[in-house]
Chains A and B, each alone.
Chain A
């Protein structure tokens, strides 16, 4: 059995982390035709090979191999309007998404250039971190040499989401200073609001005036260590300098607490439901409160499986045609479940063991226990029960004992008769029941006993 309490690295813990670099300008190059776009494309093309995109799409349309000439041709076919978007991305890892978007906010034109890189660990790679950070800084300089920038930020996207910065919800000019990040670009209005001298004297790793009146500054050499004590201290010192009303201690304390979210917590889940809980923990991610979730469910123990009878007490089949009943369970009911959920739970199609925890998690997470109408429940109980029963038969070598009343139908394995339909009914009674009465737990319990029995 796989151990579920192995130590986890920070990058594994925050495995969906990414870096976002977002630059904003009040000037939309799209409004001035393709030529105005060329310097930006040149800046993207000059990214190093491990960051450079090789695919493109326009306004969400078909993905094509990138070439500047082909992009020019495609854009010529359609006139630019207020909302125009060019998206470049990589066909090979790491995932790099470059978006050039023309849009508006409160009728004010906005242009934004975004570079999203994932996994975040790419920025941490030993020996490469400095060079990759330099690539991003160069990109900012290149964009600023063509477009006036009003605002910009480059940081761990997860940490950005956990911060107090409302991101695009606040596009006001000047944009208020919420926090200090790894890379910061303040446009002329922001510079004026805070005072150029004051800004330039902020404690920072790099402070640089850009063309067009904006200022670029970094708290640290690379984005890699954003949650380290050193980085938090640098962020705090800069922020307190720019916002003297804040206290250093309480600001630092808040950031330290946030860093805690990034420090891995061993998952010590009950082994019978560990797969379900790990799926859910990964789903939530650090932004969704993974740490709290793990803390809570490390203490969780599901009730013992009660849906079984000693083999001697299992009722004999009372259906007219046993084979036909089994066929109905396996071909009709069980297939119904696959038909219902295969889109939301792709592993169902594989028919492998991992389908069970995926299914349990989905039923739990999507609230199937809570939101069923009577008819839906009466459809789903046979489907789920038959699906579970089929695993008991096919994987553990069980034998169906069909009954007219489905909840009495059993699968006989060794000394026990398991009641999959009864389990399914229990699993679908309320919000938490798909976890408390999971298919995974019954299957694993039956598997253990079957092994013990055969030895």
Chain B
């Protein structure tokens, strides 16, 4: 599915622009674009005298070369007819692409979002310009997408997340083509970004990474943050920091390591990740706001292992969520009469710019209402390898995890999930829970952890998914 859609985008970008008359449209691999050194701008590179696109690759190259794209857009705004014709063709292609993607993306209609979000992320790679011209093309695509998506009865939340990825960071009202439904959509898009107050939501990365997650739209931001955190903390092997040495490790999407298919989403994701990081280190790409220190990219093996762990942690988190939504809340939250459990809950802490995300957030709906103090519990899910640990090492690990959970999900928090009954409210967390995966935990360590947990301010649970 991701592969089919990314092809669709490429094919549309090239074939639609060429009027569909050419034989086999040539998809330009991203890595080839990344090696591209833009020549001095000239219209002749892309179109004939009248502004009609020429050559199989001209549209793709023009969209990729941010400065050239912006030049054409500026000229067309200034009244240059050749530029207007040229840019008009790009707009048409984007329009067709947006509608086509909405029609094709069963992934959008169904709740498994990332499968289609991924393509929008590819768009970022293929159309890097965030200047006025680039944003105009995104806008055209977004309008067309949301109109078609409405016709397909794609859920608002799903649509919002896609638009969010596409448009975040732009002034949504501007050039919204005046369509009433598009305005509605843009409001939702902003609501969806409300949990991520900083930085573009590049949820597509997750999907590119081949993580088969089924997520609510709002949860994408949470996963994005968690993956970024884990990447930053990963102590596994990285490529060298020195540029000359680093460049020798440049991965190519058509040359995966043996045993890995070139089309494997995880490999595609690695190549994109590597290049993003390379550009961040080179200073040609802005560093995301949360990042304190830009580390060199992980090696393929480390990156793949990181994603593997991340996927397992997502699966564990979902297993805990299911358990809590089914019989688990009676056991773990016996004092709650009407528990409402939400996952990946965005919370704003006093004195912290970026929201944190609790794995699960439980509120007793019976304690909501004027004059009542809501009973709120937060959960942190951890998979630790306790095998071979002494009691002392295991208890130390517990102390660290408990401290993190108390600091991040305890005390006074502001709920940042739109639509949640506590949205925008500041509440005091009544209790913080820590949930360990008990799959490879022996009885001695388990008892020691249970014994030590109360001293560390958390309620400890074990779960076997």
User: Is B390 in the interface zone, CB < 8 Å from A?
Assistant: yes
Q: Is the CB of A60 within 8 A of B396?
A: yes
| A57 pairs with B396, CB closer than 8 A | yes
> B393-417 toward A: CB 8 Å interface, digit per residue (1/0)?
0011111101100100000000000
User: What is the CA–CA distance of A299 and B397 in the complex, to the nearest angstrom?
Assistant: 40
Is the Cβ of A99 less than 8 Å from the Cβ of B395? Answer: yes
A287→B447 contact, CB < 8 A: yes
Known: A59-B403, A103-B454, A103-B456. A118 touches B395 (CB 8 A): no
CA distance A82 to B406 in the complex (A): 11
Contact assessment for B443 and A284 in the assembled complex, using a CB-CB cutoff below 8 Å: yes
Known contacts A95-B392, A99-B395: A116-B464 contact under CB 8 Å: no
CB distance from A385 to the nearest CB of B (A): 18
Digit string of A100-120 for contact with B (CB within 8 Å is 1, else 0)? 010111000010100010100
Q: Does A89 contact B (CB under 8 A)?
A: yes
CB pair A283 B442 closer than 8 Å: yes
A285 interface contact, C-beta 8 A: yes
Q: List, in ascending order, chain B residues with CB within 8 A of A112's CB.
A: 455
Q: Does A116 lie within 8 Å of B391, measured CB to CB?
A: yes
A276 CA to B447 CA, complexed, in Å: 23
Q: Which residues of B contact A16 (CB under 8 A)?
A: 442-444
Known interface pairs A344-B439, A366-B464. Does A85 touch B456 (Cβ–Cβ under 8 Å)? yes
Q: Nearest-CB distance from B397 to chain A (Å)?
A: 7
Judge if A416 is at the interface, Cβ distance under 8 Å. Answer: no
A103 touches B455 (CB 8 A): yes
**Assuming A283-B443, A287-B443, A366-B439, is B385 touching A99 (CB within 8 A)?**
no
Tell me if B387 and A60 are in contact (CB < 8 A). no
B390 interface neighbour in A83, A95, A104, Cβ under 8 Å: A95
- Do A95 and B391 touch across chains, with their CB atoms under 8 A apart? yes
Of the candidates B385, B400, B448, B457, the one whose C-beta lies within 8 Å of that of A104 is: B457
Per-residue CB proximity of B432-445 to A under 8 Å, as 1/0? 00000001101110
Which residue of the partner chain, among B259, B390, B456, contacts A332 with CB atoms under 8 Å?
B259
Residues of B within 8 A of A95 (CB): 390-392
Instruction: Judge if B388 is at the interface, Cβ distance under 8 Å.
Output: yes
**B384 CB → nearest A CB, Å:** 11
The reply on A419 being an interface residue by CB < 8 A is no
Return the CB mask of B191-228 against A: 1 if under 8 Å, else 0.
00000000000000000000000000000000000000
Within 8 A of A (CB), among B354-412: 385, 387-388, 390-392, 395-400, 402-403, 406
Q: Which residues of A contact B397 (CB under 8 A)?
A: 60
B447 touches A161 (CB 8 A): yes
Cross-chain contact B457 with A97 (CB below 8 angstroms): no
The reply to whether A60 and B403 contact each other, CB–CB distance below 8 Å, is yes
B319: nearest chain-A partner, CB-CB: A371
Knowing A60-B403, A167-B451, A344-B440 touch, does A367 contact B464 (C-beta < 8 A)?
Answer: yes
Return the contact of A285 from the options B439, B444, B451 (Cβ within 8 A). B444
Chain A contact residues: helix, strand, loop or mixed: mixed
In the complex, A285→B447 CA distance in Å? 11
Interface 0/1 of B444-462, CB less than 8 Å to A: 1001100110111100000
Task: State the CA gap A18–B445 with chains docked (Å).
Answer: 12
Instruction: Flag whether B50 is at the interface (Cβ < 8 A).
Output: no
CB distance from B161 to the nearest CB of A (A): 25
| Contact across chains for B452 and A99 when beta carbons are under 8 A apart | yes
- A332 proximity list for chain B (CB < 8 A): 259
Asked if B20 lies at the interface with its beta carbon under 8 angstroms from chain A, I say: no
Q: B441: shortest Cβ distance to chain A, in Å?
A: 9
A262 at the interface (CB under 8 A from B): no
CA A118 to CA B403, docked complex, whole Å:
27
Structural contact, A97 and B455, CB atoms closer than 8 A = no
CB distance from B282 to the nearest CB of A (A): 33
Q: Are A85 and B391 in contact (CB under 8 A)?
A: no
Q: Which residues of A lie under 8 Å from residue B387 when comparing CB positions?
A: 343-344, 346
A61 to B455, CA, bound (A): 16
Task: Indicate if A278 sits at the interface (CB-CB under 8 A).
Answer: no
CB <8 Å contact, B406 and A83:
yes
Q: How far is the CA of A87 from the CA of B387 in the complex (A)?
A: 21
| Given known A99-B455, A103-B454, A283-B442, contact A346–B464 (CB-CB < 8 A) | no
- Chain A, interface size category, equals 35 or more
Q: Do B451 and A168 touch across chains, with their CB atoms under 8 A apart? A: yes
Instruction: Tell me how far the C-beta of A166 lies from the nearest C-beta in chain B, rounded to whole angstroms.
Output: 11
- Residue B175 at the A interface, CB < 8 A? no
Give the nearest-CB partner of A100 in chain B.
B455
Contact indicator B396/A87 (Cβ below 8 Å): yes
Judge whether B396 and A343 touch: CB under 8 Å: no
In the assembled complex, the Cα of A16 lies from the Cα of B394 at a distance in Å of 15
Taking a contact as CB atoms under 8 Å apart, the answer to whether A60 and B400 are in contact is yes
- CA distance in complex: A332, B395 (Å): 38
- Please name all residues of chain A whose beta carbon is closer than 8 Å to the beta carbon of B392 when the two chains form the complex: 87, 89, 95, 97
Distance between Cα atoms of A283 and B440 in the complex (Å): 10
**How would residues 305 to 332 of chain B score, 1 for a CB under 8 Å from any chain A CB and 0 otherwise?**
0000000000000000000000000000
In the assembled complex, A10 has its CB within 8 A of some CB on chain B: no
Contact A97 B395 (CB under 8 A): yes
List residues of chain B with CB within 8 A of the CB of A171: 454
In the complex, B465 has a CB within 8 A of chain A? yes
* A157 contacts chain B at the CB level, 8 A cutoff: yes
A46 to B456, CA, bound (A): 27
One digit per residue, 1 when the CB lies within 8 angstroms of any chain B CB and 0 when it does not, for chain A 46-87 equals: 000000000001011101000000000000000000110101
A20 within 8 A of B: yes
Interface residue? A362 (CB, 8 A)? yes
Q: Is A288 an interface residue (CB 8 A)?
A: yes
In the docked arrangement, what's the CA distance between A219 and B448, Å?
Answer: 25
Of B385, B403, B452, B465, the residue contacting A344 (CB under 8 A) is B385
CB contact under 8 A between A362 and B464, given known A95-B390, A105-B454, A344-B385: no
Bitwise, A256-290 to B at CB < 8 A (1) or not (0) is: 00000000000000000000000000011101100
Bound-complex Cα distance A60 to B393 (A):
8
Given B388, B448, B451, which contacts A346 in the complex, CB threshold below 8 Å? B388
In the complex, are the beta carbons of B451 and A20 less than 8 A apart?
yes
B385 to chain A, nearest CB (A): 5
B385-A343 in contact (CB<8A): yes
CA of A59 to CA of B452, assembled, Å = 12
Task: Give Cα A60 to B385, complex, Å.
Answer: 16
B456 and A83 contacting across the interface, CB-CB below 8 Å: yes
- Residues of chain A contacted by B456 (CB below 8 angstroms): 83, 85, 101, 103
Q: Are A97 and B385 in contact (CB under 8 A)?
A: no
What would 15 A/B residue contacts be, using CB atoms closer than 8 Å?
A59-B400, A60-B395, A87-B392, A95-B390, A95-B392, A97-B392, A101-B455, A103-B455, A104-B457, A118-B391, A168-B454, A169-B454, A344-B387, A344-B439, A371-B465
A residues lining the B interface (CB < 8 Å):
16, 18, 20, 57, 59-61, 63, 82-83, 85, 87, 89, 95, 97, 99, 101, 103-105, 110, 112, 116, 118, 157, 161, 167-169, 171, 283-285, 287-288, 332, 343-344, 346, 362, 366-367, 371
Q: A60-B399, A95-B390 are in contact. List 5 more A-B contacts (CB 8 A).
A: A60-B398, A95-B392, A99-B455, A343-B387, A344-B439
Which 8 A-B pairs rank lowest in CB-CB distance, beginning with the nearest?
Answer: A60-B399, A285-B443, A101-B455, A16-B444, A60-B400, A168-B454, A344-B440, A60-B396
